[in-house]
Amino acid sequence: MKYPRLIINETKFKNNVKVAIDICKKNNIDVLAVTKGFCGNRRMAELYSECGIKYFGDSRLENFDVYSDIEGHKQLLRIPSIFEIQDVVKKCDSSLNGDLNVIQKISKYCLNQNLKPHKIVLMVDLGDRREGVLPEETLYTVDQIINLKGVELIGLGCNFGCYGARIPSDEAMQIFVDLKHKIEQKYNIKLSHMSGGNSLSLHLVWENRMPKEINFLRMGFAMIFGTEDMYRKTIKGMFRDAFRCQAEVIEVDYKSSLPVGKCGIDAFGHKPYFEDIGDIKRIIVGIGKLDTMFDAMIPIDKDLKILGGSTDHLIINANDSKHNYKVGDIINFDLDWGSLLYLFNSKYVEKIFEK
Ligand SMILES: *Cc1c(COP(=O)(O)O)cnc(C)c1O
């Protein structure tokens, strides 16, 4: 018995993936399943594959190695760095791109090596202000790309809700698909890969607002947590709790809520603030900032309140709980994106797959 644990319910996760595929299929959209949250966990890629996923995306090239033998199109989601070009071309069927210099270097590499052109999806920044060219720069950029013989422009991509927390609007999507039509007409090419966003764009599909030109969505979050950031409700037919964390109580005590002594800085360089709520029952759980992101851990016992912690300890106010926690008890947590990432990435966390 080893804790902390990340528990993956395969049945619930696969159900979520199938529901997402069904929602998208009605609009002729393929789900490009995003594996980056699983930090190279092979079983997770297998689960996607068992659901019928044929397109996979990740931001880190190493993660593709783990499931290189699983059949499907592999797309690099983070715009490649100049030093990654060789591996991108080798490991990926396509990549998202935003910088003409990088695209030129990819082309040069493929030509030099006598490889077939690398497929690229040009990212267009519709307002979130992360990667991509601006709509007004897109045609100029495409002009340059068309002349490069070592790359093949297969489509355009857009992204919302990541850096700028922008929500996709009908106007932005219209600008996006207008660009597709302009490019196809001007260069007499077909842009067959129109990548219309991430999980935050899924609601456009079920609201019948997604332009028919969009035929791909890159999704992780919605299938992992059965929810998305627009409505923040569980998506019909999905489960919110396909993933959970279990950690062990390693100390229980009654202490004042206020530390004693002159206040300096904590282990992470911050000056903390403490509210004096008198003596409280506190439990220390054997999981720390090395393993997870506390803000993204939601105790399933709603009466538990996370107070904070340090590298290896999580401190919880258990004063209001109906349960009389003792050392050795297991605390269950629902997760969010930040904790999922850390837990999958921590070698100290056991990954348990349940049916
Ligand atoms: C991570 C990522 C996605 C997936 O986002 P979710 O919110 O998990 O659906 C899509 N596109 C890009 C470029 C990404 O980096």
> pLDDT tens for residues 116-164?
999 999 999 999 999 999 999 999 999 999 999 999 999 999 999 988 8
**Cα torsion for 239, 243, 249, 253, to the nearest 10°?**
-50
Predicted local distance difference test score (pLDDT) of residue 215: 98
User: Ligand 1: which residue has its CA nearest to atom 13?
Assistant: 77
Is the whole-model pTM more than 0.85? yes
For residue 337, give the ligand 1 atom closest to its CA: 8
Provide the pLDDT confidence category of residue 267 given band limits of 50, 70 and 90: confident
User: Long-range CB contacts (< 8 A, 24+ apart) of 233-237?
Assistant: 235/16, 235/19, 235/202, 236/19, 237/15, 237/19
**Tens digits of residue pLDDT in 293-352:** 999 999 999 999 999 999 999 999 999 999 999 999 999 999 999 999 999 999 999 999
Structure tokens at 180: 């597709």
Mean pLDDT of the residues in the chain = 96
Cα–ligand 1 centroid distance for 131 (angstroms): 12
**pLDDT at residue 1 tops 80:** no
116 as an active site residue: the answer is no
The two structure tokens encoding residue 112: 């030099």
Ligand 1 binding residues, C-beta < 6 A: 34, 36, 59, 77, 96, 159, 198-199, 218-222
Q: Report the residue among 17, 76, 77, 78 best suited for mutation to probe ligand 1: largest number of ligand atoms under 8 A from its CB.
A: 77
**Would you state the pLDDT for residue 104?**
98
Q: Where are the alpha helices (DSSP H) in the chain?
A: 10-25, 42-50, 61-66, 85-91, 100-112, 135-146, 170-187, 202-206, 221-225, 337-345
Please tell me which residue in 12, 14, 36, 289 is annotated as part of the active site.
Answer: 36
Ligand 1 atom closest to residue 59's alpha carbon, by position in its atom list: 15
Identify the CA nearest to 348 among candidates 243, 247, 251, 244. Answer: 247
Interval 196-217: pLDDT, tens: 999 999 999 999 999 999 999 9
